[in-house]
Amino acid sequence: MNKFCVILSISIIAISCGGNKRQFNANVNFEQVKIEENSRKTGSDSSYNVSVIWNKPLEAPLYLNDSIMKYTKLLFASWFNVSDNRDFNASVANHMEEYLKRVKTNAFREYNAFDLHINPEEIYQNKQIISLAYSWNVYEGGAHGNYGKYCFVINKNSGNKISYNALIRKDKEQEFLQLAEQEFKTQFGIKANENLYELYTFEDDKFHLPDEFHFTPSGLVFYYNPYEIAPYSAGLIELLLPYNKIQDFVNYMD
């Protein structure tokens, strides 16, 4: 083997060994796709309406595209049978068609009404992450509907979803929680002589942050969905932690 072949072989091995380390820091562009179905098309007496908008990634690296689609599908899977080999639009349309057939023939009375809306929030990106959030509300009969936020943050280099544990620096977890608790009390007007745990139902009377978090231009936002720490009447509870207060505690800031 000549010298050129040896160098080439070593280079190929180095690339293969380092194949899992990606360096992608460009912004991913998205296209908004809207799906609408309603019971007026069948003349049914039942109220059945769906308006869904989702963010479809454009020209993203395959590993990022797959990851974004995977976690978007988890939101859709709450209502629709979205398999890996069918696109969202086809899945929703098929689900709608089947439902409306059953309603029209009086064979299906789980709901006398169904109204679902899903809307994307502003997408936030920096060199390390893509942060996506959706608001959703649904009515399936009964006294009232339900609503909330669904968020996920993707590591641009690995394609993995960033968990809360990966978000916060290991040696700063307790300090970060203390800061977040103080910000919570300040933002929601809890006075020094008031007991936080009599006003909100934190498990075991210990302050915690919710699973849903989203990077925004203003800061990191945590969303407590209805019923999570307060009655339905309290609504969605949003805790904003400005970047200038958390820069020493949080990874993926730039």
Domain parsing of the chain, residue ranges: 29-155, 164-246
Reported as half-sphere exposure (CB side, CA atoms, 13 A), residue 124 has a value of 19
Give the chain's residues under pLDDT 70: 1-21, 39-46, 83-86, 92, 95-112
8 A C-beta contact, residue 22 and residue 158: yes
Q: Quick one: pLDDT at residue 243?
A: 96
Number of H helices, E strands in the chain: 7, 9
8 A C-beta contact, residue 166 and residue 129: no
Q: Quick one: pLDDT at residue 5?
A: 44
Q: Quick one: pLDDT at residue 9?
A: 36
Residues 6+ apart with CB under 8 A from 179: 241, 245, 246, 249
Q: Is 80 helix (H, G, I), strand (E, B) or coil?
A: coil
Residue 65 phi/psi, 5° resolution? -60, -45
Is 29-155 assigned to CATH 3.20.20.80? no
Residue from 82, 118, 99, 123 nearest 47 by CA: 99
Q: List the CATH code of the domain at 164-246.
A: 3.90.640.20
Q: What is the DSSP letter of 32?
A: E
Helices (H), 61-169: 62-76, 88-104, 164-167
Q: Quick one: pLDDT at residue 16?
A: 35
Q: Which helix (H) or strand (E) holds 219?
A: strand 219-224
Q: Quick one: pLDDT at residue 48?
A: 75
